[in-house]
Amino acid sequence: MSSPAAKGTAGGPATGTSAGAAAEGVRFFWCEQGWVDGAVVPGVRLEVDSAGMVTGSETWVPAREGDCRLPGVSFPAASNAHSHAFHRVLRGRTHAGGSGSFWTWREQMYEAAGALTPELYEQLATAVFAEMVVTGFTSVAEFHYVHHRPDGSTYGGSETGDHAMERALARAAVAAGIRLTLLDTCYLAGGFGVPLNGRQQRFGDRDAQGWLHRLASLRTAVTAEFDPALVSVGAALHSVRGVPEAALPTIAAGLPDGIPLHIHLSEQPAENEACVQATGLTPTMLLDKHGLISSRLSAVHATHLSEEDISVLGDAGATVVMCPTTEADLADGIGPAAALRAAGARIALGTDQHAVVDPFLEMRALEHGERLSSGERGRFTPADLHAAVSGAGARAQDRPEPGLEAGKVCDLMCVDPASIRTAGSRPGQLSLTATAADVHTVVVGGRIRARSGRHTTLGNPAALLGTAIAAVDAARTSTLEGTPRP
């Protein structure tokens, strides 16, 4: 049901506001239909304060003069709980010959990482973050490990460097208007008992204490330069194969209180086998041994877990970040999402290597994976899927949840319910029929950041991506040929 004020507007762009208002923020939004308390209801009117928080919410009411009207169905925006921005250059390029594995894919990823400079990374990340915004993501946990120059020396020359790569990512996020949680990643080894190889040198620090020192310096630098509501710093361990066990007690003792901690966990059976051989424990139990499993932990992938692993993660109230389209693309397998949720873990979603940047396809792939592995439908209801793609991802970043209720941040993705994909769908089931192509308006903190697939300040993300990827390709070619880059 919709009020008379909504007639003739379904699926169109936001109305009743100017470009200036979109830039400055809107005090009142009126949603033709909106997701409130786990269901779609008509006529949702939101009051938004100067910080972008919803301070009042009414339902079943008509629009008023001056309201910014959002046609279609407005959902809490998506929170991307796991991203590697530079992996976007690999989309559609790793499938030749019809064979390969995660490990062969990784070789191409190293080539791309080797070509990055701060300037190139800022250009590429701006385009990738703009792509996220126009598809419905308004925050991103960037799992970042390309810290230094290719030879491992720091930008800026000091022990901690000037954080050139990290600041480039922060500037890119600000330009795109996406909330960034920069997960500064500890990466000390190339495998169990194996040092970093030549291509991994730029990822590493001298030891765990060196990483903690650089992390502290980065947090200070980012706080001084950027609004913490837009850019914050968290921590990550690359994986148990990338951080030796001897470093874990130092990290557990030295991590600042209250910041998010993420880790790639049990993505591949080979990782589990190597961990058990080296330590006698699964990756989850190794982390638990050193006190690193807690409610602030986000375990990324968690595809291959034992029953004991699942119980430990669930008992701790940890978040498990699944990236179903990436896990399918890399043939990782289907993780035990429903079992983890039943054990007490929160399920969040991420786009990881960006084979797809589409919150609806991630939601759908989560449920479809469960259907394929269990032979049952409805393992994750539409409400479960929206919670995973939105609130759980925000909590994994230690950020306020997006939503249409008072006390939530006014981050919205507005969907056309009458497209060729969605026509006839019940509004509450659009998670199972819509795609990013149906997102017509994106609001971040009470500001309209995207309309009809275009970023309101950056324009067409496809053009930005094409230019940025071409620049990275040129740098990759130059690097591989051993010639100086301009």
pLDDT at position 115: 93
Backbone phi, psi, residue 169, to 5°:
-65, -40
Helix boundaries (H) for 115-163: 118-135
Please list, in sequence order, all residues whose beta carbon lies within 8 angstroms of the beta carbon of residue 163, skipping any fewer than 6 positions away: 155, 156, 217, 218, 221, 222
For residue range 323-363, list pLDDT tens digits in order. 999 999 999 999 999 999 999 999 999 999 999 999 999 99
pLDDT at position 95: 87
pLDDT at position 163: 98
pLDDT at position 101: 75
pLDDT at position 106: 79
CB atoms within 10 A of CB 436: 21
pLDDT at position 12: 66
- Of 243, 242, 235, 231, the closest CA to residue 213 belongs to 235
pLDDT at position 476: 87
pLDDT at position 426: 98
Low-confidence ranges of the chain (pLDDT < 70): 1-26, 98-99, 103, 479-486
- State pTM to two decimals: 0.94
> Exposure of 379 by Cβ count < 10 A (0-12 exposed, 13-18 middle, 19+ buried)?
middle
> Exposure of 424 by Cβ count < 10 A (0-12 exposed, 13-18 middle, 19+ buried)?
exposed
Residue 477, CA distances (Å) to 111, 184, 228, 247 in order: 10, 28, 37, 36
Rounded to an integer, what distance in angstroms lies between the CA atom of residue 307 and that of residue 310? 5
